[in-house]
């Protein structure tokens, strides 16, 4: 990496190479170092605990000295274990918000007037499992690491059924939005196993519980891959929210700004219209049940035609992160423009 590019990931105070994939422990150490170095703007807290006992870290970024009604923006990465570019991209957002505060007036506005709630690794168990071996069955693991669940399968009229046990739930089928209806499975051995019931998993329940306690205006979740910017709703084709035109125009603007940096093109639309119908997704739940204004799912690099896109090379991390940050800035600017309305506390 050239000296010019090194400035993208080193601020002189906290040393962390954003241009490589890191362990969960490295991520935790980085977040804690930021909180210690920038206490006036950064705090770190767990929002839940995974099946294997790992705390799920949330970093809050805002100017603590300024009060008032601030817009809330949620960002998460790493909900699917194998999608390593997702947490790496989210870590870059954190870096920019924290280190560019005194250098970039737009970042200062974002931090002064907003509260950023960022979870770079929502599925730490699955992520660490995917890092434990290059065996494709492990490296390409998608789900969390919930305890094995067993099903009995018939093997014939005169033979006893065969018991099969498999581990893990697809966390992006486990949210309470048309749960279990389409694009998910009741088979624990399926990659898209939805779980026993909505929010059965500690990882998804932690998201629900946090959003019920905090006012969030924008919800951003990052996946890979296919280069698609999705907005609700994804459970059925041609199914849209009442403010669909606003969601779409904001997404189109975000995709246009993303494209300007390196020419990367994104499709824009609902998940059902651009990819396939699936229920139980977090961005749909955030819009439909948590009543978030702007809710988007990014499918990051590479493009859909690449057969091994989950194995994105490290030299793609910085370009992906930098161009996606351009899109996030557009959405954050639209978030700031949401009218402030006095309202009674929500009851859920």
Residues with catalytic roles: 299
> How would you classify the pairing of strands 55-61 and 42-49?
antiparallel
> How would you classify the pairing of strands 114-119 and 149-153?
unpaired
Cα–Cα distances (Å) from 131 to 11, 29, 81, 124, 280, in that order, read: 27, 18, 9, 11, 26
Asked if residue 280 lies in contact with residue 194, where contact means CB atoms within 8 angstroms, the answer is: yes
Closest to 208 (Cα-Cα) out of 185, 249, 258, 174: 174
Q: Could you tell me the two tokens for 251?
A: 């997404």
Asked if residue 194 lies in contact with residue 273, where contact means CB atoms within 8 angstroms, the answer is: no
DSSP per-residue string spanning 193-232: B--SSTT-SHHHHHHHHHHHHS--SEEEEEEEEE-EEEES
C-alpha R_g of the chain: 20
Closest to 142 (Cα-Cα) out of 310, 346, 319: 310
> How would you classify the pairing of strands 114-119 and 71-77?
parallel
Asked if residue 119 lies in contact with residue 57, where contact means CB atoms within 8 angstroms, the answer is: yes
- Write down the number of H helices and E strands in the chain: 11, 10
């Amino acid at each position: 990496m050239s000296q010019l590019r090194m400035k993208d990931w080193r601020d002189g105070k906290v040393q962390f190479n954003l241009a490589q994939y890191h362990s969960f422990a490295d991520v935790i150490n980085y977040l804690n170092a930021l909180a210690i170095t920038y206490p006036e703007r950064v705090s770190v807290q767990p929002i839940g605990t995974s099946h294997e006992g790992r705390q799920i870290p949330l970093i809050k970024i805002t100017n603590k000295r300024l009060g008032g009604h601030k817009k809330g923006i949620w960002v998460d990465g790493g909900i699917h274990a194998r999608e390593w570019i997702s947490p790496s991209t989210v870590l870059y957002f954190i870096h920019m918000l924290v280190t560019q505060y005194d250098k970039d007036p737009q970042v200062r506005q974002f931090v002064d007037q907003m509260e950023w709630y960022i979870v770079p690794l929502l599925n730490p168990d699955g992520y660490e499992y995917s890092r434990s071996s290059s065996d494709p069955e492990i490296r390409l693991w998608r789900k969390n690491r919930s305890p094995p669940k067993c099903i009995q399968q018939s093997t014939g009229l005169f033979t006893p059924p065969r018991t099969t046990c498999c581990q893990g739930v697809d966390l992006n089928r486990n949210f309470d939005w048309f749960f279990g209806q389409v694009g998910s499975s009741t088979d624990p051995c399926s990659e898209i196993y939805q779980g026993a019931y909505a929010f059965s998993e500690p990882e998804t329940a932690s998201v629900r519980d946090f959003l019920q306690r905090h006012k969030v205006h924008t919800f951003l979740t990052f996946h890979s891959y296919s280069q698609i910017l999705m907005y609700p709703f994804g459970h059925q084709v041609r199914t849209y929210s009442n403010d669909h035109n606003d969601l779409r125009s904001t997404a189109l603007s975000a995709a246009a700004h993303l494209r300007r940096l390196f020419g990367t093109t994104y499709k824009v639309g609902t998940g059902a219209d651009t990819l396939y119908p699936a229920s139980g997704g977090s961005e749909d739940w955030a819009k439909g049940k948590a009543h978030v204004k702007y809710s988007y799912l990014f499918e990051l690099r590479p493009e859909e035609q690449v057969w091994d896109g989950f194995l994105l090379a490290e030299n793609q991390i910085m370009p992906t992160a930098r161009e996606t940050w351009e899109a996030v800035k557009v959405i954050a600017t639209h978030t700031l423009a949401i009218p402030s309305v006095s309202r009674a506390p929500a009851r859920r």
